[in-house]
Amino acid sequence: MKYSTLGTTGLKVSRLGLGTTTFMGIFARRSPDESVRVLQRGLEAGITLVDTAPSYGEGLAEEWVGRALRGRRDDVVLTTKAGSYAPETFDFSPARIRSGLEDSLRRLGTDHVDVLCAHDIEYGSPEQILGDVLPLLERLRDEGKTRAFGVSGLLLEPLRAAVEQTAVDVVQTYCRYGLHDQSLVGPAAGWRARGVATVLGSPVAMGLLTQAGPPDWHPAHPALRAAARTAAALCAGQGTDLASLAMRYALACPQLDAVLTGAGDPDHLDRNLLAVEAPPDPELLAAVLACFAEVSQRTWPSGNGAWPTSNP
């Protein structure tokens, strides 16, 4: 396993971390025992970064993480979020953030988390997030409820604003660096220069960059879906798989401090672990990147439209 430090926080993390959005059941149903086995297998393999949120399964993911970490809390950098407590339902009020964090700590079986992020900040207003929420998270850090704080989301402009106007430690985004979209590189380099860490979730873009293709609910534009199908067929013809290439590509990015992976079972996790040590094949990589070269819509809308943005 390879390791890095999250910005100036002093928190040492594995380059490959475990995300828990798969525990929501959005791809397939997962049992508690199976999910706990995945987490424990990751710990055995040297993974030290575990990310979750109260909205993942409406608290179930945090409960299962807490179960997996019994007696091992100090072995991991544990991150969770505030502001969303059910899928696509947001409440950034100070009272709810405080009560939601206490609920998260109870489910996780700990008295503090290592990183607390405001969840998908494009669903709040700039005034609320920058003026109220992030100062509150900073106070929660000072109170010892978290060791660091940050923001998460899909849209890059709100994340940029948070870094430039507040004292966040960590930015977490998803689907914004991959075979289909490299728009995160410039912002992440700038954030690193400020001492702010960047963590990428979903390097396979919520199933877009897989041999099976994305689920029906996936918001990708038809042209992007078509390019991904072409890339998957190209990889299959070379005896490999698009998801494996996507994992290797993300892990090779020097601007990223960590990459989160979800895994449905221990074998799936083992396949992802192989990507830590082996960079992508350069010829295949060039051919796959070319599949997306003519696609103009590399991402999709998110949020409530309250943030000014030059980046969809």
Q: Which residues are catalytic?
A: 56
Report phi then psi at 276, rounded to 5: -65, -35
E strands present in 76-154: 77-82, 84-86, 89-90, 113-118, 146-153
Amino acid at 98: R
Q: Which two tokens stand for residue 97?
A: 């953030």
Cβ neighbors of 29 (< 8 A, separation 6 or more) are none
Cβ neighbors of 78 (< 8 A, separation 6 or more) are 50, 52, 65, 69, 108, 110, 113, 114, 115
Amino acid at 81: K
What stretch of H or E contains 150? strand 146-153
Q: Which of 46, 51, 52 is nearest to 3 (CA)?
A: 46
